[in-house]
């Protein structure tokens, strides 16, 4: 009897994209899935069968929020990557093992189809390109405002270097480890060592120049707010809203009922206390096409926080009733977003 086992993709995978175990046996085959050394599932099948493992692995991955205040230029990340081992056996063959490193996040179905049999890690995350785990930019240029600076996750390449002009920083972080590049700390290092704050970094790794990171000044405005969200690749991004912001409430359904009043011997209309949910409406301010397109990630995020709103960070959900971006126009545009507080209360005063 024969036993054939295939785990695709091989080597590394994103948990949000298909992770497929294919087994072919002349009889009944058994399989076991170990995540981080723990047995999370055991199953079996007959003949040729396949199983998708993403839902088994997802609960063992969690996003890590790296702070700009961290003193490391390269911040180690734990919890966003896990080692998976699959063991397959039958009654007549030695058990077969397949292993995989699985990372939080996923690319679009369109991207998966365009890749074909290629692995996104060899194409992007471990190649001479924008190898950072962020949806802020997939080309050779990443732009962010100085108020939007946040650490960028990556698989540390060999000979990781960052340059601004003739000045250079060379990382000694462990090659192949999962970590975040702390741009804020790196700029502070530049100011201390070279005497100026850089407005860009050229990033080198995997044997060549991979991309450039450009920092743009943020326009001065009295009505600006920062929103942090988790994007599709497991990176916490920050965006600045610079347009008019207003607060209202969503009181939901007003359920009334008739209540008997003994004093007047009649029924009066009454209701229970209404749960008021704060709603914040914000305008993005004028932004470029690429900046507005990037906000699709915010609309799809399951983890959104309005930063320093009246002195506190507040969890919210994001919505945009009329999300439209003029693709053929070169003039900046703006969008109106609605943020609803997750906790249904409004503090007095």
168-207 residue pLDDT tens: 999 999 999 999 999 999 999 999 999 999 999 999 999 9
Q: How many domains are there within the chain?
A: 1
Q: Is residue 33 part of a domain?
A: yes
CB 240 within 8 A of CB 294: no
What DSSP designation does 134 have?
A: -
**pLDDT tens-place string over residues 234-254:** 999 999 998 788 888 776 665
| Residue 83 CA: distances (Å) to CA of 11, 44, 134, 178 | 10, 22, 21, 12
pTM beyond 0.85: yes
CATH number at 73 reads 2.60.40.1930
Q: Is residue 118 part of a domain?
A: no
Residues of the domain holding 5:
1-105
Q: Is residue 146 part of a domain?
A: no
CB 242 within 8 A of CB 332: no
Q: Is residue 94 part of a domain?
A: yes
Q: Is residue 206 part of a domain?
A: no
Q: Is residue 170 part of a domain?
A: no
Three-class DSSP category at 293: helix
CA distance linking residue 111 with residue 126, whole number of Å: 17
Q: Is residue 68 part of a domain?
A: yes
> Which percentage of the chain shows pLDDT scores above 70?
93
Q: Is residue 48 part of a domain?
A: yes
Of 90 and 270, the structure prediction assigns the larger pLDDT to 90
What DSSP designation does 151 have?
A: -
């Amino acid at each position: 009897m024969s036993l054939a086992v295939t785990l695709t993709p091989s080597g590394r995978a994103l948990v949000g994209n298909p992770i497929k175990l294919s087994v072919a046996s002349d009889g009944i085959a058994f399989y076991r899935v170990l995540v981080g050394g723990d047995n999370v599932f055991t199953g079996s099948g007959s003949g040729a069968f396949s199983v998708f493992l993403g839902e088994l692995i997802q609960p063992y991955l969690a996003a890590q929020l790296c702070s700009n205040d961290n003193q490391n230029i390269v911040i180690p990340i734990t919890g966003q990557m896990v080692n998976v081992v699959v063991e397959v056996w039958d009654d007549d063959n030695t058990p077969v093992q397949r292993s995989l490193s699985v990372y939080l996040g996923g690319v679009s179905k369109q991207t998966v189809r365009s890749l074909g049999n290629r692995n996104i890690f060899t194409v992007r995350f471990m190649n001479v390109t924008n190898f950072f785990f962020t949806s802020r930019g997939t080309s050779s240029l990443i732009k962010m405002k100085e108020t939007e600076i946040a650490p960028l996750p990556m698989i540390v390449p060999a000979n990781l270097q960052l340059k601004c002009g003739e000045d250079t920083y060379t990382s000694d972080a462990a090659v192949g480890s999962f970590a975040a590049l702390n741009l804020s700390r790196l700029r502070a290092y530049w100011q201390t060592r070279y005497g100026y704050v850089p407005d860009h970094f050229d990033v080198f790794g995997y044997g060549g120049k991979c991309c450039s990171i450009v920092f743009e000044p943020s326009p001065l405005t009295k009505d600006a707010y920062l929103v942090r969200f988790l994007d599709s690749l497991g990176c916490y991004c920050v965006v600045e809203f610079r347009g008019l912001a207003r607060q209202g409430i969503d009181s939901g359904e007003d359920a009334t009922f008739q209540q008997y009043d003994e004093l007047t011997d009649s029924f009066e209309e009454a209701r229970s206390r209404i749960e008021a949910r704060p709603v914040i409406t914000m305008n993005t301010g004028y932004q470029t096409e690429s900046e507005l397109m990037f906000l699709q990630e915010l609309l799809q995020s399951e983890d959104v926080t309005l930063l320093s709103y009246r002195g506190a960070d507040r969890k919210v959900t994001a919505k945009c009733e009329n999300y439209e971006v003029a693709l053929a126009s070169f003039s900046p545009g703006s969008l109106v977003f609605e943020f609803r507080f997750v906790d249904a209360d409004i503090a007095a005063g």
